[in-house]
Amino acid sequence: MSTLLIYVLPQGMVFAADRNITVTVPTQADGTGPPVMYQAQDTACKIVRWPRRQALVGYVGLAEIGQQSTHEWLYDFVGDHVNFIDSKQVALDLREKLQETVGDLDPPQHLIVEFGTFAIQDGVIVPEMWHVTNVHGMNEKTGEYYAPEKDFRASEQILGNHLKHIRADKLREELRDCADRHDPFWFHQSIDLAIFNTLESAVKAGFKILQDHGRIHPPATLEDWERHARMWILVYGAYFEAFGGPAEKYVGGGADVLSIPWPGS
């Protein structure tokens, strides 16, 4: 499990993720006897952007699918859906393929995939965030995910869930109000999510104070928000660098950040 941060903004979407992955490595300490398994950190990209900036996909959790890294698997999936028209069908296809490839793992392994794009609803352009996972909830008090299950599900989480009370033609205005408060509409997936949310909220509060005192300019473009997202990922990586043990750098290794613009912007 690593860290994936998503902002849905009036200018578009931003995905940011750390680069550390945890791998299990077989070794023989003395050259005799059975291999000993130990965990270590490697690095890999966890987000992929469609050509022509049509959509984004990112993951946390299982780092390998079959004989491929999860990044390579998602890259191939994007290649198979380059010119998609129906975002819901892409999400359902993603769910089906994950079910086929990792749904039978025993024990099940955590995997959360976020697929973000734009679609037409009620005659207007709206953002969509498809949540595809075998992790079906979390403890709201501790921020700990429930144990993974064998079945994968796909659901749209913006107008389909969190902002379902907002009319499609008012959604962009709502997102603008959130961004102007320096509290953009977000999705966070991470190990120790409660700690990440606390640190991220504290950083945002600090930056709001700096803006109010004229020391920095409020973010106004996708590029501005990319910088903020990168910094928040790096801050959380610094936390693990400072407090994690030698094989506990579960977040870190730098940050990858990608964005897609609101169509027509």
Task: Please check whether residue 22 is in contact with residue 250, taking contact to mean a CB–CB distance below 8 angstroms.
Answer: yes
From the list 9, 110, 24, the residue with the least C-alpha distance to 56 is 9
Percentage with pLDDT > 70 across the chain: 92
Average pLDDT over residues 40-68: 90
Percentage with pLDDT > 90 across the chain: 72
Q: How far is 9 from 13, CA to CA, in rounded Å?
A: 6
Confidence of residue 26 (pLDDT cuts 50, 70, 90): low
> Which pLDDT score is estimated for 38?
45
SS (H, E, C) the chain: CCEEEEEEECCEEEEEEECEEEEEEEECCCCCCCCEEEEEEEECCCEEECHHHCEEEEEEECCEECCEEHHHHHHHHHHHCCCCCCHHHHHHHHHHHHHHHHCCCCCCCCEEEEEEEEEEECCEEEEEEEEEECCCCEECCCCEECCCCCCCEEEECHHHHHCCCCCHHHHHHHHHHHHHCCCCEEEEEECCHHHHHHHHHHHHHHHHHHHHCCCCCCCCCHHHHHHHHHHHHHHHHHHHHHHCCCCCCCCCCCEEEEEEECCCC
Task: Please check whether residue 166 is in contact with residue 174, taking contact to mean a CB–CB distance below 8 angstroms.
Answer: yes
**Over 50: is that where the pLDDT of 48 sits?**
yes
**Over 80: is that where the pLDDT of 42 sits?**
no
From the list 62, 74, 73, the residue with the least C-alpha distance to 21 is 62
Task: Please check whether residue 135 is in contact with residue 148, taking contact to mean a CB–CB distance below 8 angstroms.
Answer: yes
User: Tens digit of pLDDT for each residue in 144-196?
Assistant: 999 999 999 999 999 999 999 999 999 999 999 999 988 899 999 998 888 99
Q: Record the pTM.
A: 0.91
From the list 101, 158, 159, 165, the residue with the least C-alpha distance to 134 is 101
Residue 102 corresponds to which amino acid? V
Listed by start position, the domains of the chain span 3-21+40-261
**Over 70: is that where the pLDDT of 117 sits?**
yes
Confidence of residue 6 (pLDDT cuts 50, 70, 90): very high
| Lowest-confidence pick of 38-47, 129-138, 153-162 | 38-47
Confidence of residue 82 (pLDDT cuts 50, 70, 90): very high
Confidence of residue 37 (pLDDT cuts 50, 70, 90): very low
Query: Considering the chain, what is the average pLDDT of its residues?
Result: 91
**Over 80: is that where the pLDDT of 211 sits?**
yes
- CATH: 3.60.20.10, 3.40.50.620, 3.40.50.300, 3.10.400.10. Which one for 3-21+40-261? 3.60.20.10
User: Tens digit of pLDDT for each residue in 238-251?
Assistant: 999 999 887 788 89
